[in-house]
Structure 1
Amino acid sequence: MDKAGARRSAAWIIAGALVATGVVVVIVGVLTPVAFGWFAYQPLAAATFAPATSGLFLSRTTIIGWLVLTIGLLIVAYLLGRRAGSAKRASAQHPEAH
């Protein structure tokens, strides 16, 4: 395998690892309950605030997981586009093959 082939293989391995890591971190982050503290207290208020039912709170782990997953998917998209472009270029250089 030449150097270019080794770099392509390494790029695919890195992209796959990033996607797999991102998925695992997102799943772990979503399954982990989000803990946060209150910084104010209003003793005479009659309203009740229940954070679990009023919105989606993302943990830092979940956000990092989504970022890693997004970076991995962008690398995969780039590699697929590069592969499609090189195949198109090869078919344009040798039109008798089609």
Structure 2
Amino acid sequence: MRDIYSALENYKNDRVDEIVNHIAATSSEYKQLTCSVKIACEKIFSSFLDNNKSWLEKYEDLVGQREALVFRFLYEQGFKDGLKIGFLLNNAIFKDEVKT
């Protein structure tokens, strides 16, 4: 059972990266938002004094880490929900066949 869990965990982690890369490559909305964020960040960054720029960089890193964590939790929960739904459907569809 541990091997199955480990395999599913690896699959989930691989899919997270694939999904993010796919969205970044194909979504015009994502690209537009990324461009807007970059411009806003550059303007904010240029208005700071040198000693405060490191705080903005740290802030950006922390926000990015937090977003990645939330995304992973959401994806993992969706994956678990999908497995549960599949299990329930399997039981509902094949329960009569098992009795026969």
**TM-score, with length taken from structure 2:** 0.42
Q: Which has the larger radius of gyration?
A: 1
Structure with greater helix percent: 2
Q: Which has the higher contact order (CA 8 A, sep 6+)?
A: 1
**TM-score, with length taken from structure 1:** 0.43
